[in-house]
């Protein structure tokens, strides 16, 4: 497998994430190999089940879930694994989506009185997400995954990613390991391997605010950008707003709904200062 270049790594990482080629070699390549082990076992299991039932083996995607807080680096992990798995399996189709697109639109959140709860479990159209996962797992042909824009801070109307019979699908989002009380089937029921990206909440807050500052630095030339009013306004007031959103929304969501799902993951990647992964936990059983 050809080594990853610095340019490819820069393209994979999120806005304020930090990751090195050494991290790829020491952490992500072994993680890719572990997924390979699970993937082989999955394929063997599918074949054995088909043989037992005396049925023709139908292609069923292997699904990897990636969970964790906002601003912790889930997207970097997802994109990097997509690149590494595509390199490892050049004849297979590897795709990657985020569950952000399954949030209700801002208009619908306002109608439901949920704008202040955006990101919490009730702000997602879980029925749509579970239907989507079921269609993917049953390989029902090209399936539309709604897209989300961090520039407009909203779901994009009539804009989709097309999931077309992948061999491996990576599904990344804060809610992918959660167990909503009103659902009989959970998103994680469709996963064959799962990862939780972890860090101390105080560090995540710092990364969240660092990302917010970078978004302001890039939004001031685009009046259509959600962050434009904050970018051209008083910087200290904007930062105070971001800190308030973290304290009243993102931190409670992390504490009450995201962090409790950590133990459900097959692998936990724990980060410390500068997004450095300093501990890796593998689920025993």
Residues 6+ positions from 185 with CB-CB distance below 8 Å: 130, 134
Which residue's structure tokens are 């704008």? 115
Give the C-alpha separation, 98 to 207, whole Å: 20
Closest CA to 266 of 247, 241, 284, 248: 284
| Beta strand 277-282 pairing with 267-271 | antiparallel
SS3 content of the chain, % helix, strand, coil (to 5): 50, 20, 30
Quote the tokens at residue 94.
């590897």
Binding residues are 68-75
Provide the annotated binding site for ATP: 68-75
Close Cβ partners of 2 (under 8 Å, ≥ 6 residues apart): 87
């Amino acid at each position: 497998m050809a080594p990853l270049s610095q340019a490819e790594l820069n393209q994979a990482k999120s806005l304020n994430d930090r990751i090195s080629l050494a991290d790829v070699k020491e952490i992500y390549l072994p993680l890719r190999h572990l997924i390979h082990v699970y993937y082989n076992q999955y394929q063997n299991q599918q074949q054995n089940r088909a043989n037992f039932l005396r049925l023709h083996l139908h292609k069923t995607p292997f699904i990897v879930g990636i969970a964790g807080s906002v601003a912790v680096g889930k997207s970097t992990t997802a994109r990097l694994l997509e690149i590494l798995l595509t390199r490892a399996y050049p004849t297979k189709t590897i795709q990657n989506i985020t569950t952000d697109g399954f949030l209700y639109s801002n208009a619908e959140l306002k109608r439901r009185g949920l704008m202040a709860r955006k990101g919490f479990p009730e702000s997602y159209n879980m029925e749509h997400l579970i239907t989507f996962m079921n269609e993917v797992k049953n390989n029902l042909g090209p399936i539309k995954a709604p897209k989300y824009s961090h520039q407009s801070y909203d779901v994009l109307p009539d804009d989709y990613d097309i999931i077309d019979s992948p061999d491996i699908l990576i599904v990344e989002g804060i809610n992918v390991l959660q167990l909503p009380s009103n659902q009989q089937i959970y998103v994680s029921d469709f996963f064959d391997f799962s990862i939780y990206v972890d860090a101390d909440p105080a560090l995540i807050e710092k990364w969240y605010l660092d990302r917010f500052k970078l978004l302001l630095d890039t939004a001031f030339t685009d009046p259509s950008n959600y962050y434009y009013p904050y970018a051209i306004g008083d910087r200290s007031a904007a930062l105070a707003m971001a800190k308030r959103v973290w304290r009243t929304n993102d931190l409670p969501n992390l504490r009450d709904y995201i962090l409790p799902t950590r133990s459900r993951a097959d692998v936990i990647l724990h980060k410390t200062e500068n997004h450095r992964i300093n501990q890796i936990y593998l689920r025993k059983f």
